[in-house]
A and B are shown apart, each in its own frame.
Chain A
Amino acid sequence: DQQVKQNSPSLSVQEGRISILNCDYTNSMFDYFLWYKKYPAEGPTFLISISSIKDKNEDGRFTVFLNKSAKHLSLHIVPSQPGDSAVYFCAASLYGGSQGNLIFGKGTKLSVKP
């Protein structure tokens, strides 16, 4: 039961270009979405989040877009840097659920080539 789907297991991008990571969800009761970054041998690190009442949130090089009608969100990284190479997880939490009960996607491995 994949409520949060990241259909691209990997993505390769040239340094300086835009990276776009996509995420789809099925549960309309999700009201908060997050992106986490994970390096090998480390735990996930929070990157950026968006509430379901918004359609865009920007933080430096990172922007998350939410399209509720399509149940789709995306993470844009501009410009991409080699240090951005990591696995990116999309996560969602349910309205009324505890803040820790996050439902994760399987992740997309981003490789940024110099």
Chain B
Amino acid sequence: EPEVTQTPSHQVTQMGQEVILRCVPISNHLYFYWYRQILGQKVEFLVSFYNNEISEKSEIFDDQFSVERPDGSNFTLKIRSTKLEDSAMYFCASSEETGLRGNTIYFGEGSWLTVV
């Protein structure tokens, strides 16, 4: 079964450093997403991306965050200057262009970011 893959699985970074989390969405998918889950909290939507631009973003997705699809396969989340509160599991997800809402969103296994 096709899957969304994420790297790294775990990253520890110093506060103030830049972090790039990488994702390879399912190959025929056209919508891409990032979510995060702070330990013990709910999964939160960050951003959706379609046709090489952000289609929707949440309040969490402020100027320190950016997303990019640098080539035909990767989808990245960059955090410019990490803060302690950015420590979380970051999930990449992708979906087909068409389909019932919600049920075609496939999640990766997550990248656990620890900011120290």
Question: How far is it, in angstroms, between the C-alpha of A63 and the C-alpha of B49 when the chains are bound?
Answer: 32
Counting chain A residues whose Cβ lies within 8 A of the other chain, the interface size class is 20 to 34
Q: Are A32 and B102 in contact (CB under 8 A)?
A: yes
Which residues of chain B have C-beta atoms less than 8 A from A21's C-beta? none
Please encode chain A, from 30 to 67, with 1 for each CB lying within 8 Å of some chain B CB and 0 for all others.
00101000000111111001000000000000000000
Interface contact B109-A100, CB-CB below 8 Å: no
Interface positions of B (Cβ within 8 A of A):
4, 31, 33, 35, 41-45, 48, 55-56, 58, 91, 93, 95, 100-110
**Number of A-B residue pairs having CB atoms within 8 Å of each other in the complex:** 71
Whether, in the assembled complex, A69 has its beta carbon less than 8 Å from a beta carbon of chain B, the answer is: no
Chain A residues touching B, majority SS? loop
Central interface residue in A34, A43, A46, A107, by most chain B CB within 10 Å: A43
Contact among A45, A93, A105 with B102 in the assembled complex (CB-CB below 8 Å): A93
A residues sitting closer than 8 Å to B (CB atoms) are 2, 4, 32, 34, 41-46, 49, 89, 91, 93, 97-107
Q: In the complex, what's the smallest C-beta–C-beta distance from B22 to chain A, in angstroms?
A: 15
